[in-house]
Amino acid sequence: MKESIIKNRFSAAIGMENARGYAAVIPDIKRVSPKEGELFRGRDPVETAKSLARWGAPMLSVVTEPEQFGGSTELLKRIVKNTDVPVLRKDFITSEDELFKTVETGASAILLICAVMDEETLRALYRKSIELDLEPLVEVHTPEELKLAGKLGARLIGINNRNIITLEKDGGGPSRTAALASGLPRGALLISESGILTQADARLAVSAGANAILVGTSLWLAQDMETAYRSLHVERGEGPFVRL
C-alpha cells in the first residue's frame, strides 16, 4: 500500500477539506447505474479517476459490485495504484473474506450497509475492519439504522438518500440527509450519499450538517464533468447540525 494512502486516511481527508471551509466532494466511480444505465460510455475510468484527483477530489469511491453496477475489484486495484488519494470500496459486503480481499486492493475504507445484514454481522465486520486498518463507513437510510450506527460507535456515517434495497431506483435526494442529520452521534463525520444532482442539492446536504457528499451518476451524465464537479464544491456553514 502506498505511503501517501496510509497517511491520508479517508476521514482525515474529509477533515482537511472541512478545515479549509468546504465540504468534501467524493466522486463515485461506477460503471452502471441501475436507473440510468451505462455511465462510462467509452471513457477510461482510471484516467477519469486521475482527472478527478487533479481537479481536487480529496478521495475517491469505487463500486465493485459486478452484477448490478458493473464493478470489479480489479478496477479498484488499478485506481488505487494510479492515484494518490484514499479510496473507498463500495459493495454489498457481508463476510470477513470480502474484508481481506479489500485489504489486498489497497483501499483505505470499506462500506458497511446496515440494510443488507443483521446487527450481529454488522458488529463483527465493523470490528474486523478496524483490526485490518480499514476505515468502516456505516451506511444508513432510516432513523433506526442511524441509531444502530451510533451504538456501534461509528465515526464515519453515510446517509444514503436513496433506497439501496431497490438499487437506488427511487427519487430520493438530500432531504433525506436533512431529515436524519440531527440524530448523528456527536463526533461522527457525516457523508450524504446519492441523489445529489445540483449545487442546490449539495448546499442542502451541507447545510444540514454533511461533512462530505458522495456523487456518482450526475457527474458521469454531465456534459462537462470537471465543471459539474467544481460546482458541487460548496462552503460549509455553521448550521445547527454541523459537527466538526
- pLDDT of the residue at 120: 97
Q: Give the range of the structural domain holding residue 48, as residue numbers without chain letter.
A: 3-231
- pLDDT of the residue at 160: 94
Question: Does residue 66 fall inside a structural domain?
Answer: yes
| Three cell numbers, residue 123 | 458488529
Question: Does residue 109 fall inside a structural domain?
Answer: yes
Q: Rounded to an integer, what distance in angstroms lies between the CA atom of residue 133 and that of residue 141?
A: 25
Residue 124 belongs to domain with CATH number? 3.20.20.70
The domain total for the chain is 1
At 1-46, the pLDDT tens digits run 343 334 338 999 999 999 999 999 999 999 998 888 899 999 999 9
Question: Does residue 85 fall inside a structural domain?
Answer: yes
Q: Rounded to an integer, what distance in angstroms lies between the CA atom of residue 105 and that of residue 62?
A: 11
- pLDDT of the residue at 244: 32
Question: Does residue 241 fall inside a structural domain?
Answer: no
At 28-40, the pLDDT tens digits run 999 998 888 899 9
Question: Does residue 244 fall inside a structural domain?
Answer: no
Q: Rounded to an integer, what distance in angstroms lies between the CA atom of residue 241 and that of residue 208?
A: 6
- Pairing state between β 87-90 and 135-140: unpaired
At 65-111, the pLDDT tens digits run 999 999 999 999 999 999 999 999 999 999 999 999 999 999 999 99
Question: Does residue 236 fall inside a structural domain?
Answer: no
Question: Does residue 158 fall inside a structural domain?
Answer: yes
Question: Does residue 225 fall inside a structural domain?
Answer: yes
